[in-house]
Amino acid sequence: MKTNSIPLIDINLNSSALENNSLIAIPTGLKPMYHFTKGDTVSAISVKLNKGKIKLSSKIAKVSFSIDNKHLSHSEKMVYVFVPSNDIPYLICDANLPFLLSTGKYTKASTLIPGQEIVDKNGNPVLIESISIINHNGKGYNISTNAKWDNTPNGHLLLANGIVIGDFTLQVYFDQIPLEMTQ
């Protein structure tokens, strides 16, 4: 598998890079991550693996909380994930943000590598072309659905820039996911 990785670099970004980058799927379209408040509706994603194929479904959920991390400084490290085949080709996120891999397993952004495949809004694999660690001096945002935590990612998955990611609850409880579901 051919990969085009770029070296780890430090880039200073202003807050609009994260704000313009994070579009979350809602029942009526897309909404910037920074516009969510408690009680807003969001599309909560569930995953089924059938004969090696990923099937996504969504249901309407409510945002149980929305947090902006106002105190990010120049020393705050974020992960820049570049997937050129996607509609929005990059995502800037916390190193602990969970991602769904094309294998049906979950991993954190800090362990993603170029050449690995994550999952898009249609359940299809998208190739990660590069990963960089960047300095981010703007705000970071977290939201969580109101789905009850039952040691499974279902109901705690969102579509951010057309990529399946975990909400803040999944990020916090990631270590409680059964080992066979993680990489």
Which of the four pLDDT bands, split at 50, 70 and 90, describes residue 149?
A: very high
**What confidence tens digit (pLDDT) does each residue in 90-108 have?**
888 889 999 999 999 999 9
Determine the pLDDT at residue 22.
Answer: 82
Average pLDDT over residues 9-29: 58
Residues 163, 86 contacting (CB under 8 angstroms): yes
pTM: 0.85
61, 147 in Cβ contact below 8 A? yes
- 127-140 pLDDT, tens per residue? 999 999 887 766 67
Q: Which residue has the tokens 């960047």?
A: 134
**pLDDT at position 171:** 95
CB atoms within 10 A of CB 75: 8
DSSP annotation of 71 reads: T
pLDDT of residue 3: 37
What are the CA-CA distances from residue 68 to residues 6, 38, 53, 108 (Å)?
29, 12, 35, 20
Picking from 29, 53, 158, the residue whose alpha carbon sits closest to that of residue 104 is 53
* Closest alpha carbon to 16 in 1, 32, 31: 32
Domains of the chain and CATH, by start: 12-181 (2.170.16.10)
The residues with which 61 forms a beta bridge, in sequence order, are 42
Q: Per residue in 155-172, pLDDT tens?
A: 999 999 999 999 999 999
Could you give the angle at the alpha carbon of 70 between the alpha carbons of 161 and 12, nearest 5°? 65
- Per DSSP bridges, beta strands 163-166 and 53-69 are unpaired
